[in-house]
Amino acid sequence: MARDYLTEIYKVQSQGPYSLLGWSLGCHLAHEVATLLQKDNQVVSSLIFMDGYPLWSLYKTMERSDKDSLCAMFEATTGSVPQHEAEINVIELQKSLVAAGHPLAGLEQDTFEHILAEFRDAPSLLSQFSPGRYEGDVLFFKASQRYVAGGDYDPQLWGEYVNGSIITHDINCSHDSMLGADALKTVGPIIKKWIDHSEIE
């Protein structure tokens, strides 16, 4: 999967420096893409993680249903989950995105189905992953509202796979709402400052 991303990145930008950001499963993908870029002697100027952790033993025990995936997607895109179970479906999700003017509102239903499948299968994919080692610092955003028990949600766990500092910012949000408008009001300026500083270096 990471090599597929790398292929697409090279189509858009054939030479570094590169800035990479990932949320949840995307942290692992961004980390792997960064290590692949460095193996290609490319410069990665920024690597940014949003609440993703190398918790391999926890991922092996996590199971996500289609409903769990829908609830996570509702919160990640609209900031809330419908109170009535009958409203937790792809059609209602699309309606909510249209009403909110969300960038994903124009996606077709089959595309949503693929995204939901990725939400559902992410823990299984992560449990089989063995990361390399990234040379450089990482900017990490940690969700302070934690709903899933059983894991040591410590950004410094990435230290085994990062040859550099892990600079952490706690964000007052849940994991699934970290890409919501409220969280991004805090996260956005920090990311901009980080990338601007990295590009100067």
What does the longest C-alpha to C-alpha distance in the chain come to? 52
Domain assignment present for 59: no
My answer on whether 106 and 79 are in the same domain is yes
Domain with 18 in it: what CATH number? 3.40.50.1820
Q: What is the pLDDT of residues 68-106, one digit of tens each?
A: 777 767 766 666 676 776 667 777 777 877 777 776 777
Give the count of domains, the chain: 2
Considering the domain boundaries, does residue 61 fall inside one?
no
Percentage, residues of the chain above pLDDT 90: 41
Do 106 and 140 lie in a common domain?
Answer: no
Residue-wise pLDDT for 138-175, tens only, equals 999 999 986 555 556 889 989 999 999 999 999 999 88
Domain assignment of residue 60, yes or no: no
Under the banding of pLDDT at 50, 70 and 90, the label for residue 9 is very high
Alpha-helix runs per DSSP H in the chain: 2-12, 25-39, 56-61, 66-78, 90-100, 109-127, 181-200
Nearest in space to 67 (alpha carbons), one of 104, 50, 103, 92: 92
- Quickly count: other Cβ atoms within 10 Å of residue 48's Cβ: 23
Structural domain that includes position 176: 2-54+131-200
In b/e form, how buried is each residue of 67-77, taking b as 16+ CB within 10 angstroms? eebbbbbbbbb
Residues 12-61 pLDDT 10s: 999 989 999 999 888 999 999 999 999 999 999 999 999 988 875 455 55
